[in-house]
Copies of this chain bind each other. A is one copy, B any other.
Amino acid sequence: MQKPLKIAVVGSGLVGSLLGIYLRRAGHTVHVFDRSPDIRTIQFSGRSINLAMSHRGWKALDGVGIGDAVREIAIAMDKRAIHLPDKLNFQPYGKEGESIYSISRGTLNRKMIDLAEAAGVEFFFEQKIWDVTLATSTLHIGESERGEWKDLQYDMVFGADGAFSRIRHRMQRQSMFNYSQEFLNTGYKELNIPANADGSHKLDKNSFHIWPRGEFMLIALPNLDGSFTCTLFMPFEGEHSFAALTDRQKVEAFFETHFPDSIEVIPMLAEDFFKNPTSTLVTMKCYPWTYEDKVALIGDACHAIVPFYGQGMNAGFEDITVLNEFMQQFGDDWQSVFKHYEQSRKPNADAIAELSYRNFMEMSSKTADEKFLLAKKIEKRFSDKHPDKWLPLYSRVTFSHRPYSEALAIGDKQNEIMAEVMDMANIFAIWDSEQVEQKILELLRESPLDHS
């Protein structure tokens, strides 16, 4: 058991709330601050992408016994439903019984705060933290950035305040702090597919729906109430872009041309398009993540990634799992807890950033490509037959607890092998033959994947 400390967590999002529960369970006093109003008291929508909870997320929730409470608000998606212009393809995500889980961000966040409060975490909303004094883990709080501030001193401060973290902002001004933020030229906008009158879903409920169109794509994830939260990803500028869709007619014509089967299920298309903001997508990396035994960053505050692998929340939750393991190991030696935490997580945060960045291409372009889909079929066939020899990259990221960095490295080797397989003569005819299976086995003997 650790010596009880007074700990502040800045940010009442998913990571901040769950971290609060872990710290409280470890015996600490936990105060969570957020500049926004209590999300349980307000309408939250208009700029969110539904979450896709997978193994890493569930592990962190189950670690404090709240997984089942969250499962109640989650919908299993066991496959991609790929809406091509002329047909609908289904592509399973993993093996029989493996799914990712759609959860609305607002619903989950409300639930997490309820659970944290029940665990004894104290929340302080509409409290604006502007700065932190690192050496004394003192928060500076006030109405405005240039106004009067009060000091709140804690034994320790966690910055769980997201991609634009104020806590990190202070650390950035330290010497030797490495930092990068890079925006995509692609933005996104939330749209909505309402439920049928009887509360049922208008599209297959247990699918992650995707309309891949190259530079842009539409996705839809199911909600409990029968609706789907849709997200349109599209460049800001150019021929097919947010800048080009300037009025109702253009928006409707664009959807009729590119997403014809979406028209009848998105009745409020133009209204939502112009009401909801266009949001940006950023990859943020930094290092170090901690300051002595006083301040630590966690989640998006130290590794914001683009959403195309559905791993942002899962990676943040896994931070907590790992942090908790080191709390068990090092006890009151928080300096060691923090050092091991940041050293262990940094390469994995970089790896999932890279995988997420790459996956935009896969989702928006390749899922419409026959060759890519065939490669996935070959991979699935081989993996089903030789599960000890081949775990697909997607599964290693989504349905395992192996480090992201390992997934990235092994995935690169698998890509090389599949490129050779796809170069085989007449591959569309022989894809499910003994010959292809033997070829993969041979290539694996030549350069084994390291499953260590």
Contact = CB atoms under 8 A, between A and B. Distances in A.
Contact of A180 (B146, B180, B183): B180
Q: Using C-beta atoms within 8 Å of the partner chain, give the interface range for chain A.
A: 10 to 19
A172 B284 CA distance: 13
A254 interface: no
6 contacts: A146-B149, A175-B183, A175-B280, A177-B181, A178-B181, A178-B183
Interface string A173-194: 0011111111100000000000
B178 A182 contact: yes
Contacts of A149: 146
Interface string A270-313: 00000000001000000000000000000000000000000000
Chain copies in complex: 2
Contacts of A183: 175-178
Interface string A241-282: 000000000000000000000000000000000000000100
Given A175-B183, A176-B280, A180-B180, 6 more contacts: A146-B149, A176-B183, A177-B183, A178-B182, A179-B179, A179-B180
A181 B284 CA distance: 12
A146 B146 CA distance: 7
A146 B176 CA distance: 24
A224 B177 CA distance: 37
Contacts of A177: 181, 183
The 5 closest A-B CB pairs, nearest first, are A180-B180, A176-B183, A178-B182, A179-B181, A175-B280
A427 to B, nearest CB: 34
Nearest to A164: B173
Contacts of A146: 149
Contacts of A181: 172, 177-180
Nearest to A285: B180
Contacts of A175: 183, 280
Contacts of A178: 181-183
A342 to B, nearest CB: 16
Contacts of A280: 175-176
Nearest to A236: B176
A177 B172 CA distance: 16
A178 B149 CA distance: 30
A178 B179 CA distance: 11
A18 B348 CA distance: 46
Interface in A107-159: 146, 149
A364 to B, nearest CB: 20
Nearest to A131: B146
